[in-house]
Structure 1
């Protein structure tokens, strides 16, 4: 299992939100460039970047983000306001390694089938596209976690699998931004339902013990953000874990 450091950007600042609430923002005195440089110098291969402005259909951050991303050799997993096939292709063309899709995939029943045809013709869906599933008490939430989907969680997973999407970024909203531990129970249910999915766990990771617990249930990787900024997990610990993971593959 691989640890993917997360960087959330709001108004070109590195921040974290509590439970996705834009009114509960913690801003950190570090730039995106500085964070990427730290991770890259420690040998990290992947990084998770979320444009929180883009999530609100405000793309004023995008040029700033792209200029920085183009300068790095790191593989960037990117999300925030990706609501069209054209936007997915634009991001891939800009050098984004994996594009995260969320709200549009849930609200527009034609989006994933169209995306599957457009993207999977040249490569596997799961290699370039990550389907985000934000879950609160097994209910799928979208639009910044303000709306609830009537689609049952496992039915949605099955729909994605049937279209060729196998990699999921699952956020347990109950855990996000609280440093209270990962949503092990939720991830176990998903993996019990579909053991072969490539699951990226997100939310609540507060220590290397949480990372170890996620590794035991065979998630592919986990996203860690606030725990790094709050000094709960060090970049050195991430480096050592990821190196060991690569050796074990």
Structure 2
């Protein structure tokens, strides 16, 4: 299992939200460029960046973000307001390693089908596209976690699998930003339903013990953000874990 450090950006600054609430943002005294340099110098090859402005349809951060990303060789998993085929194409052309799609995939039944046929095809979709599933008490939420989808969780997973999408970023909203531990039971249910999916766990991770719990149920990777900024997990620990994971792989 691989640990992916997370960097959330709001108004050009590094932040972490609590339960996705923009009114509960913690701003950190470090820049995106400094964080990328720190991760890369410690041997991290892959990071997770969310443009929180983009998630609300404001792409004012994008030039700033990509000026910095393009200076680095680090691979980026990127999300935030990706709601059109054209935006996915643009991000891939800009060198983004994986693009995260969420709201549009839920609200537009044709979006994933078009994405599969126009961008990646059924064999490559899991390499380039990550389907975000944000869950509150097993109800799928979207549009900044303000709206609820009538689609059942496992039904949605099956729909994505049928179109060739096998990599999912699952966030338990109840856990997000609270450092109260990962939602192991939720991830176990998903893996019991579809053991072959590539599952990325997100939300609540507070310690290396939480990461060990996730490894036991065989999630592919996990996203860690606040625990790093709050000094619960060090970058050196992430480096050591990821090196061991790559050797084991």
Q: TM-score, normalised by structure 2?
A: 0.99
Unmatched 5+ residue regions in structure 2? Answer: none
What are the residue-to-residue correspondences of 1:215-230 with 2, within 5 Å? 215-230=215-230
Q: For residue 67 of structure 1, what is the aligned residue in structure 2? A: 67
Query: SS of the residue aligned with 1:71?
Result: coil
Find the counterpart in structure 1 of residue 9 from structure 2: 9
Partner of 2:187: 187
User: How many angstroms apart in 2 are the aligned matches of 1:23 and 1:130?
Assistant: 27
Q: For residue 25 of structure 2, give the secondary structure of its aligned residue in structure 1.
A: strand
Residue by residue, what CA displacement relative to the aligned partner does 1:59-88 show, whole Å, maximum 9, x if unpaired?
A: 000000011111111110000000000000
Distance in structure 2 (CA, Å) of the matches to 1:69 and 1:37: 10
What secondary structure does 2:48 align onto? strand
Residue 132 (1) aligns with residue 138 (2)? no
Aligned to 2:95: 95
In 2: Cα distance, 1:219 partner to 1:119 partner = 26
Aligned counterparts of 2:72 and 2:132: Cα–Cα separation in 1: 24
Offset at 1:167? 0.2
Contact 2:199–2:221 under 8 Å retained in 1: yes
Aligned match of 1:213 = 213
Paired residue for 2:173? 173
Deviations 1:188-214 (A, max 9, x none): 000000000000000000000000000
For these two proteins, the number of residue pairs brought into alignment is 249
Task: Tell me how far 1:123 sits from its aligned partner.
Answer: 5.9
Matched with 1:248 is 248
Alignment-derived partner of residue 115 in structure 1 = 115
What residue number does 1:48 align with? 48
Root mean square deviation, CA, Å: 0.8
CA distance, structure 2, for counterparts of residue 207 and residue 168 of structure 1? 22
Hey, what's the Cα distance between the residues in 1 that align with 2:192 and 2:215?
15
Instruction: Tell me the distance in 2 between the aligned counterparts of 1:68 and 1:219.
Output: 30
1:103 Cα deviation (Å)?
Answer: 0.2
Provide the C-alpha distance between the structure 1 equivalents of 2:223 and 2:27, rounded to a whole number of angstroms: 19
* 2:78 pairs with 1:78: yes
State the shift of 1:122 in Å.
9.3
Unaligned runs of 5+ in 1: none
State the SS of the aligned residue for 1:120.
Answer: helix
Q: Which whole-Å deviations, capped at 9, do the CAs of 1:93-128 have from their partners, x for residues lacking one?
A: 000000000000000011000001011249600000
Q: Which residue of 2 aligns with 1:104?
A: 104
SS in 1 for 2:168: strand
TM-score normalised by the chain length of structure 1 = 0.99
Structure 1 segments (4+ residues) deviating >4 Å? none
